[in-house]
Amino acid sequence: MLSDDERALFMISVAAELAGMHPQTLRMYERRGLLRPQRTAKNTRRYSEHDVARLRRIQALTELGLNLAGVERVLAMEEQMDAMAAELRLLHARLDEAALIMRREVERIERSHRLDLVPVHRGEIVHLGHRRRRA
């Protein structure tokens, strides 16, 4: 299921206007692989809010002086960082789950210890209340 910002809503002219670009620029970005708009059954481009945000990001990067090759690299690195961040969140969740399981297991083992065993520190004398017979 597509989220609201991924649902293709806009024709090329509307998307271009929202991004402050010429429609031909959007076509060029698509040819370069910077943008992948959805297509209707009749092959008409449809752009989502996510696509418009990406267009604005491309525009911001080019305004910083990056050429399209630089923009491609930056966008690829950002996507890689997003994927790594998602993986890190998953690993943190798994680690938290493993820690919880470990804590529960430690508590279970501690409860199962015999209560008649008492830790004795070196040098202490302990009388248990019963005598041993000499043989």
Kindly report, residue by residue over 23-81, the tens digit of the pLDDT: 999 999 999 999 999 998 999 999 999 999 999 999 999 999 999 999 999 999 999 99
pLDDT at residue 88 in the model: 98
3 and 60 assigned to the same domain: yes
| CATH number (domain holding residue 50) | 1.10.1660.10
47 and 87 assigned to the same domain: no
pLDDT at residue 109 in the model: 87
Which DSSP string corresponds to 66-95? --HHHHHHHHHHHHHHHHHHHHHHHHHHHH
61 and 84 assigned to the same domain: no
Phi, psi of 110 (to 5 degrees): -60, -40
Q: Which of 35, 38, 31, 43 is nearest to 6 (CA)?
A: 38
Model confidence band, residue 112 (pLDDT cutoffs 50, 70, 90): confident
9 and 60 assigned to the same domain: yes
99 and 41 assigned to the same domain: no
Instruction: Identify the domain containing residue 57 by its residue range.
Output: 1-65
59 and 16 assigned to the same domain: yes
Q: Tell me, yes or no, whether 71 lies in a domain.
A: no
61 and 1 assigned to the same domain: yes
What's the structural domain count of the chain?
Answer: 2
- Three-state SS string over 12-64 comes to HHHHHHHHCCCHHHHHHHHHHCCCCCEECCCCCEEECHHHHHHHHHHHHHHHC
Q: Tell me, yes or no, whether 118 lies in a domain.
A: no
Q: Tell me, yes or no, whether 132 lies in a domain.
A: no
- pLDDT higher than 70, residue 116: no
Q: What do you get for the CA distance between the two ends of the chain, in Å?
A: 82
Which pLDDT tens digit goes with each residue over 121-133?
Answer: 777 766 665 555 5
CA separation for the pair 32, 68 (Å, rounded): 8
pTM of the model: 0.67
Q: Which of 36, 14, 32 is nearest to 23 (CA)?
A: 14
Widest Cα–Cα separation across the chain = 105
Model confidence band, residue 111 (pLDDT cutoffs 50, 70, 90): confident
8 and 42 assigned to the same domain: yes
- pLDDT higher than 80, residue 11: yes
31 and 7 assigned to the same domain: yes
